[in-house]
Amino acid sequence: MNETQDNSVLAHWYYAAEEWKAFMKGEKKVRGTDILVECFFIILLGGALIHFLRGAAWSVAFLVGVAFACIYGLTKFTLRMSSLKWNIHALPQVMITKNEVIVNGKITEFHNGSKWLRRVTLHEKGGGAYHGNHI
């Protein structure tokens, strides 16, 4: 029997469209910044490796690094953000089970034979501040 079928829902909630849009804006900023940092290092390391290992001119080496970093960055950003997409005709929702999180119908496993959940922090906005609860 499939493990997912045995999972009972531990938590389930819906977001208002405005809340989800604000969340997405924040996620795009955080994930975009992370990817830009990775791309910067790809350009530096890739350019240096191409220059020293292939004997290419610095300008050519860094242009190749920039091209690769752009492809890498756009692909990674698109894939990471696709897990948060939502059908505009339904309310955004999150469900948490024993082994996975389901965000707008997309499953993300956090506990299986090779992954274990170590800690969960739930943030609740109250009075202008976020309060964290650890599970």
The domain spans of the chain are 1-15+91-135, 17-89
| pLDDT tens per residue, range 69-84 | 999 999 999 988 887 7
Share of the chain above pLDDT 90, in %: 33
Count of H-run helices and E-run strands, the chain: 3, 6
d(CA 50, CA 84): 36
pLDDT tens for 90-103 read 888 888 887 888 88
